[in-house]
Chains A and B, each alone.
With several copies, the nearest count.
Chain A
Amino acid sequence: MDLKEWFASRRKSREAMQVKQPLTTEEYCALWTQCFQCRELLYTRDLRSNFQVCPKCQYHFRIGADQRIEQLADPDTWQELFGNLMSSDPLGFVDTDTYPNRLIEATRKSGLREAVVTGTCLLQDTKVALSVMDFGHFGGSMGSVVGEKVTRLIEHAVEHELPVIVISSSGGARMQEGILSLMQMAKTSAALQSLHEAKLLFVSILTEPTFGGVTASFAMLGDIIIAEPGARIGFAGRRVIEQTIRQKLPNEFQTAEHLLKHGQVDMVVERTKLKDTLHGLVKFHKRKLVASAKAESREQIAQGKVSSRQTR
């Protein structure tokens, strides 16, 4: 190929690379995502491969239960449990719409049956019980199904001696189930009491946002509590507090970093490092159970030696 030809082919390939038509809005939006925090335009594919964390400012985008599981579970190890549970309408609740209609709408939006997905998976080859809440479904609110699924998962963990990891994201209780939603706080906490007695590890992960009845029950009962950077976490909502104390709250109030400073969480971990951190913690605590079992048997051996010496 002479130089002329080479130039021509270059030109052609450059033309082929160029997009012929301008992008439609949808195509554009699918391709690019603007960071909520630093306003940087990010290539959606890159953002996803970076765990939905802005590479410029570390802003952690909200993600759904499916992406969470994908990020944490070893490939092809996720086994959903209790996925057949669905909300009923025990109170016949109607506000500006009926609760059943709101449930249908929530499922249409989120593609999920409920605000929590529960199951087991391997985490770098270690089996764990994993529960992931999805704020995209009914604001991650806790009704009977969320309470029941979390409780069943904990019971499953007690039975099979698994560590439990719960990732929370919730606006609080599901008001449409009235007092029954409140009682889920007691139900899940009682289940955790059994887990606590069984001395199994419970790691609670708080993500943007975690509030109300979820924070004030299982989410705050972790042996280890991890928060995602920037996540807003609290019991009462910001507006309620501002109305009560009649003053503006500082910006950093109720952020993960603020909670860390006030001794409420053990650590703030970036999503990109979450799997490694969890694996490290699970491994660390697992190894010890083995070691202490060893000690018991060693002492029995030691005592055996002593007594055999004595009987000689």
Chain B
Amino acid sequence: MNGKKIVPLEFEQPLLLLAQQIEALEKQLADNPNAELETDIAQLNEQYIHLKRSLYANLRPIDHLAIARHPQRPYTRDYFERWDANWVEMHGDRQGSDDPAMVTGFLQLGDFAVLGVGTQKGRALRDKQQCNFGMPQPEGYRKALRNFHHAEKFGLPIVCLIDTPGAYPGLNAEERNQAQAIALNLRELAGLTVPVVAVVTGEGGSGGALAIGVANRILMLEHSVYSVISPEGCASILWRSGDKVAEACQAMKMTARELFSLGVIDQVIEEPLGGAHHDFDFASQKVKAALIGQLTELTLLSGPSLKDDRHRKFRKMGSFVEAAV
């Protein structure tokens, strides 16, 4: 993460303890060279690598959630900057507001000139507050919609990056019709005749995520999550307990691989070992490559076919039993 020290997560604690032990022994070794100690350290280092791999190969859903929410995880602006240093941001809903939690702009993605849209969590505290911790106001969705229509007019493919706990649940947001802002985006996205690809890069939280997620292809980063309600919300409603977050994570099937198995998403994008926050450039390149792959396929389709493709995709979603009448 650009030379900054990476904040460890709770489930990484054993790894951290081992690393501290190794460090201590290395200090000891420096003061007092000793062949036996050297062998011990070598063994511990091997153990460390083994532990790390096994830890990341066996993450529980709640661990994925922790990585997806890591405060140093790359955000929309980090991707846009890496993809196109000269990307041009488009501001505002034209009606009185420019929501920092929703970022929109023009960018060059390989050969594709695209409209980029993404939620933004904010890094520093002030920034986080301005971005409402990544929870857009209705005006943010309306800004996205204005730009969706712009992309439709000029035949620009649309790339949406999703990383939001959900739409902001505030008094003003309700009064300015958060529900309608989301609903309208769902309908209008369904009707576009340009390619739309969405990537869940962190948290995909409920309707607030879906409002920029009605895409021809839905991709997810390996450790990102996507769910109908936050696991905390789910636990408190269904278990009536704040302790059952891990159970809620498990029950809801919110990880990238589970959702891929369910057929809801189309591709899982590999992250650097330990998560995207360990290497922004790696993550950004992987996402870029995945997007270019999808766009290359989608741009073979005509406008009406793209719309039909999107309609068909969501038409199939759901699971039910059809009894004999």
Contact = CB atoms under 8 A, between A and B. Distances in A.
A and B touch in the complex (CB under 8 A): yes
Contact of A262 (B113, B175, B248, B318): B175
Interface of B: 86, 88-99, 106, 108, 112-113, 139, 143, 150, 153-156, 167-171, 173-180, 182-184, 186-188, 190-191, 194, 206-207, 210-211, 213-214, 226-229, 233-234, 237-239, 247-248, 251-254, 259, 262, 264, 299-303, 305, 310-311, 314-315, 317-325
Contacts of B322: 84-86
Contacts of B183: 185, 189, 215-221
Interface in A81-105: 83-88, 90-91, 93-96
Interface string A173-192: 10111111111111101111
The 3 tightest CB contacts between A and B, nearest first, are A263-B92, A144-B318, A236-B169
A216 B253 contact: no
Interface of A is mostly: helix
Interface centre among A148, A216, A277 (most CB of B within 10 A): A216
Nearest to A213: B207
B210 A185 contact: yes
A178 B253 contact: yes
B143 to A, nearest CB: 7
Given A179-B226, A179-B228, A180-B264, A190 B179 contact: no
Interface of A: 83-88, 90-91, 93-96, 143-145, 147-148, 151, 173, 175-187, 189-194, 196-197, 199, 201, 212-213, 215-221, 223-225, 234-237, 240-241, 244-245, 249, 253-254, 260-267, 277, 280-281, 284-285, 287-289, 291-292, 294-296, 298-299, 302
Contacts of A249: 171
A8 B318 CA distance: 72
A263 B95 contact: yes
A247 to B, nearest CB: 8
A194 to B, nearest CB: 7
A266 B90 contact: yes
Given A241-B171, A263-B91, A265-B91, A144 B190 contact: no
A178 B234 CA distance: 10
22 contacts: A84-B322, A96-B239, A144-B317, A175-B238, A179-B252, A186-B210, A196-B153, A213-B228, A215-B179, A215-B183, A216-B180, A219-B179, A219-B183, A220-B184, A235-B167, A235-B173, A235-B174, A260-B92, A263-B91, A263-B99, A287-B113, A295-B300
A292 B171 CA distance: 42
Nearest to B317: A183
A84 B325 contact: yes
Interface centre among B169, B179, B234, B322 (most CB of A within 10 A): B179
Contact of A182 (B98, B175, B207): B207
A216 B229 contact: no
A168 to B, nearest CB: 11
A184 B183 CA distance: 12
Contacts of A95: 238-239, 247-248, 251
A215 B177 CA distance: 10
Contacts of A88: 319-321
A90 B113 CA distance: 39
A263 B93 contact: yes
A264 B251 contact: no
A106 to B, nearest CB: 14
